[in-house]
Amino acid sequence: MCAETARKKVSLGDLYQKMSKGEMISMLTCYDYPTATFMEQAQVDILLVGDSLGMTVLGYDSTLPVTMEMMIPHAQAVRRGSPNAWLVGDMPYMTYQPSTESAIRNAGRFMAEAACDCVKLEGGLEMVERVQGIVRSGIPVMGHLGLTPQSASALGGFRVQGRSAAQAKQIVDAAKALEDAGVFAILLEMVPNRVCQLITERSGVPIISLGSGPHAHGQLLIFHDMFGLYPKFTPKMAKVYGNAGEVIVNGLKAYVADVTSKRFPQPENWFNMKDEQFEELKKLLS
Ligand code: KIV
Based on the fold, state whether residues 185 and 253 are members of the same structural domain: no
Cβ 122 under 6 angstroms from ligand 1: no
- CB of 210 shorter than 6 A to ligand 1: yes
Same domain for 64 and 180?
yes
The pLDDT score that the predictor gives to residue 124 is 97
Q: What is the amino acid identity at position 15?
A: L
The neighbour count for residue 271, using CB atoms within 10 Å, is: 5
Nearest CA to ligand 1 atom 3: 50
Tens digit of pLDDT for each residue in 41-66? 999 999 999 999 999 999 999 999 99
153 and 64 co-located in one domain: yes
Residue 115 has pLDDT above 80, yes or no: yes
State the DSSP code for 26.
E
Are 120 and 173 within one domain? yes
What pLDDT score does 1 carry?
A: 45
Quote the mean pLDDT of the chain: 96
Per-residue pLDDT for 5 more than 60? Answer: no
* Same domain? 277 vs 180: no
250-276 average pLDDT score: 98
The CATH number of whichever domain residue 21 belongs to comes to: 3.20.20.60
Q: Is the Cβ–Cβ distance between 2 and 84 less than 8 Å? A: yes
What pLDDT is stored for residue 2 in this prediction? 45
Q: Is the CB of 51 under 6 A from ligand 1?
A: yes
State whether 128 and 184 are in the same domain.
yes
- Per DSSP, what are the bridge partners of residue 89? 49, 119
Residue 88 alpha carbon to ligand 1 centre in Å: 10
Same domain for 232 and 265, yes or no, is no
Q: Are residues 147 and 208 in the same domain?
A: yes
In short, whether 29's Cβ falls inside 6 Å of ligand 1 is: yes
Give the residue, by CA position, lying nearest to ligand 1 atom 1.
Answer: 50
Kindly give the distance from the C-alpha atom of residue 187 to the centroid of ligand 1, in angstroms, as a whole number: 9
Same domain, residue pair 114 and 50: yes
- pLDDT value, residue 105: 98
pLDDT tens digits, 69-78: 999 999 999 9
H helix or E strand, kind and range, residue 218: strand 218-221
Residues 254 and 231 in one domain: no
Over residues 226-243, the pLDDT tens digits come to 999 999 988 999 999 999
How large is the average pLDDT for residues 139-145? 98
How far apart are the CA of 51 and the centre of ligand 1, in A? 6
pLDDT at 257: 98
Segment 187-216, tens digit of pLDDT: 999 999 999 999 999 999 999 999 999 999
pTM, entire model: 0.95
Query: Within this chain, do residues 116 and 256 fall inside the same structural domain, yes or no?
Result: no
Which of 1-15, 138-152, 212-226, 228-242 has the least mean pLDDT?
A: 1-15
**Domain boundaries, position 261:** 247-285
- Domain count for the chain: 2
Catalytic pick from 40, 122, 189, 201?
A: 189
189 in active site:
yes
DSSP code string of 125-165: GGGHHHHHHHHHTT--EEEEEES-GGGHHHHTSS-----SH
